[in-house]
Structure 1
Amino acid sequence: MVPAPIIQTILYATDLGKNARAVFRLAVSMARHYDARLLILNVVEPLGTTGSTIIANYLSGETAEKINRDAAHDILHHMKERLARYSKEEMDAFGLDWAPPTDILVATGIPSEVILQIAKRYEADMIVVGTSSRSFLGSAMMGSTARRVSRHSTIPVLVVPITEE
């Protein structure tokens, strides 16, 4: 007989998009079910080459680098506050008598890669992600981040489909 998985830490990765509430509620339900810690992660993609080039054309290298560094710090701080507010509002809306221990994390990089790195660093036992409403062909299918995470993860990944709220 195969033993039931031991789930102590669940990583919920969100872009706070259209499907965020449904995915968050499922992640909280899973954390409650397993009496697990919940990590809430948002990954901010770095400024692309076009944006960096535009800034570099108008400012010296040192000034452009400082602006990029300061802006990245401000964005990460703002997102962490936004996630904390979102988490509190959603937990309050649940009307729970018990909420899972929760950590708010914000990082920069390629979302799928960062999600997998954070899962490993925090020894997550499960990843919960939502699908995206955007796709290359314009149809609703699994988003590229969810697809990459599920393909490369060494732990279970729960991919939550888009729902109408």
Structure 2
Amino acid sequence: MNFQMNKILVAKDLSKGSSRVIRYALELGCKFHAQVHVLHVMPTVDSSVLNRVALTMGADTLAKFNALNEADLAEKTRVQLDEIIKTETELMAEDHVNPPQIEVHHGDPTSMILAVADRLDVDMIILGSHSKGKLHYAFLGSVAEKVLRKTNRTVTIVPPR
């Protein structure tokens, strides 16, 4: 059996464990000479909240405000991810690391991860686990669990320390 890995998608928030998950993806990318794509999905505000704010501000004003803030927040997130990647690359023993591609999107994390994985046709999805406890999973589920159930791609979950 000849296993090849050309593209890896690592989807991560900016929590404390982000660095560890990104380094894992970068090291795996080096071993397989694969292109790593780093994805951060910013959740959108609930529509009921947006409707209430739109009534106060006006729909046009809110739309302009959201567009400006989303773009600004996305750029700041890209900068943060770039810093994490630079730090983790410096800590690696590998001589050459392909520069990862960074994407920042707004939306439902599960849907966006699956859509980006399909668009890029990745061979593996790497996710971090928050380990929030049994009660959390019983009522809310988790992005990692939903991605596992809805994809036919290889998924690796990197547990917290």
Could you say whether these structures have the same fold, taking a TM-score greater than 0.5 normalized by the shorter chain as the test? yes
Is the contact between residue 36 and residue 101 of structure 1 (CA under 8 Å) also seen in structure 2? Answer: no
How much has 1:96 moved relative to structure 2? Answer: 3.4
How much has 1:21 moved relative to structure 2? Answer: 2.0
State the match for 1:25 in structure 2: 23
State the match for 1:109 in structure 2: 107
1:21-45 Cα offsets, whole Å, 9 max, x none, are 2211211111111110000110011
Aligned-partner Cα distance in 2 for 1:72–1:51: 16
How much has 1:52 moved relative to structure 2? Answer: 1.3
Query: What percentage of residue pairs aligned between the two structures are identical?
Result: 28
Which amino acid counterpart does residue 19 of structure 2 have in structure 1? R
Secondary structure of the equivalent of 2:135? coil
Q: Which runs of structure 1 show a deviation greater than 6 angstroms over 4 or more consecutive aligned residues?
A: none
Aligned-partner Cα distance in 1 for 2:136–2:114: 26
Consecutive unaligned residues of structure 1, counting only runs of 5 or more, are none
Q: 1:105 to 1:20 in 2, by over 3 A?
A: same
Q: Looking at secondary structure, tell me which structure has more helix per residue.
A: 2
Give the RMSD, CA atoms, in angstroms. 1.8
State the match for 2:11 in structure 1: 13
Aligned-partner Cα distance in 2 for 1:40–1:150: 18
Is the contact between residue 9 and residue 38 of structure 1 (CA under 8 Å) also seen in structure 2? Answer: yes
Aligned pairs for 1:37-116 (under 5 A) are: 37-116=35-114
Consecutive unaligned residues of structure 2, counting only runs of 5 or more, are none
Q: 1:54 to 1:149 in 2, by over 3 A?
A: same
Is the contact between residue 128 and residue 158 of structure 1 (CA under 8 Å) also seen in structure 2? Answer: yes
Q: How many residues align?
A: 158
